Structure 1
Amino acid sequence: MPITNVTARFPRLPGIDRLAIGLSGLCVVHCVASSVLLVMLSAADGVLLNPIFHEVGLTFAILLGAVALGRGALRHGYVMPICMGSLGLGIMAGAMTLPHDGTGAEAVWTIVGVGLLAFGHDLNHRAVH
């Protein structure tokens, strides 16, 4: 059920959902690359594993998600994209609390969250177009 339709007040931002999906894809590549690097080099404590990298990335994902999913919901009126995207962001934030101990749990949960976030952006993109 649509929440509201205020298309005139919130013009389209073409490509913002595609940009967000691309960022989600980069996040998956980062998680997989970090896990592989960690397995290959057990003493690796490089830039990819630095917590600030994850914190900045999550902050950017939250901001981009809020803009893209929020504007989309205001245009088309559906809340499902916001629900899926928010669930994904929540899982990503929760994954940041897991230790970088080489078990891969953080990477697995982050990838699950990124997948849900990308799915939310895809739903948003489809609803707008």
Structure 2
Amino acid sequence: MRSGLPSIRARLDRAGILLSGLCALHCIASIVVVSAIGIGGEWLLAPEIHRYGLVVALLIAAVAIGLGALRHRRMAPFVVAMMGLSFMGGALAVPHGAQEAILTIIGVSLVTLGHILNLRHTHGSLSGRA
């Protein structure tokens, strides 16, 4: 069973990277579509999307990066990802628009970096490198 954990954790890290990219794309596309065309604001900018996205990001990061930190004993991926999640949470406190998009994009970038660092550190610990 222990050999299956790195695989599951790595898949969650990759899912976290994908989710972060989709979130950034959503932020940029929402602003462009709503500003340029004026349609879709009621569902593209719905606060629920951001709340649910943050919950999913929190769960994936907690499991993937938490398990990785236990395995490779490095805190950098955890700290970077938690800073990113803090920015994402802060984005929920500001009105929709450029400020929210900037905070969210900074947040998802840091969460992505946390997942990448986690993959690199875990890969190094599995191959005997520290």
In which range does the TM-score fall when normalised by the shorter chain? 0.7 to 0.9
Within a 5 Å distance, the mapping from 1:4-83 to structure 2 comes to: 8=2, 11-12=5-6, 13=8, 14-42=10-38, 44-83=40-79
Shift of 1:43: 6.4
2:81 alignment partner in structure 1: 85
Greater shift, 42-51 or 111-120, is seen at 42-51
Higher RCO (CA 8 Å, separation ≥ 6 residues): 1
> TM-score, normalised on structure 2?
0.85
Unaligned runs of 5+ in 1: 1-7
CA contact 2:81–2:112 (8 Å) conserved in 1: yes
CA contact 1:10–1:74 (8 Å) conserved in 2: no
1:123 alignment partner in structure 2: 117
Indicate the structure with greater helix content: 2
> TM-score, normalised on structure 1?
0.86
Unaligned runs of 5+ in 2: 124-130
After the TM superposition, which parts of structure 1 deviate over 4 Å for at least 4 consecutive aligned residues? none
Shift of 1:25: 0.5
Shift of 1:46: 2.5
Shift of 1:110: 0.5
C-alpha RMSD over aligned residues: 1.7
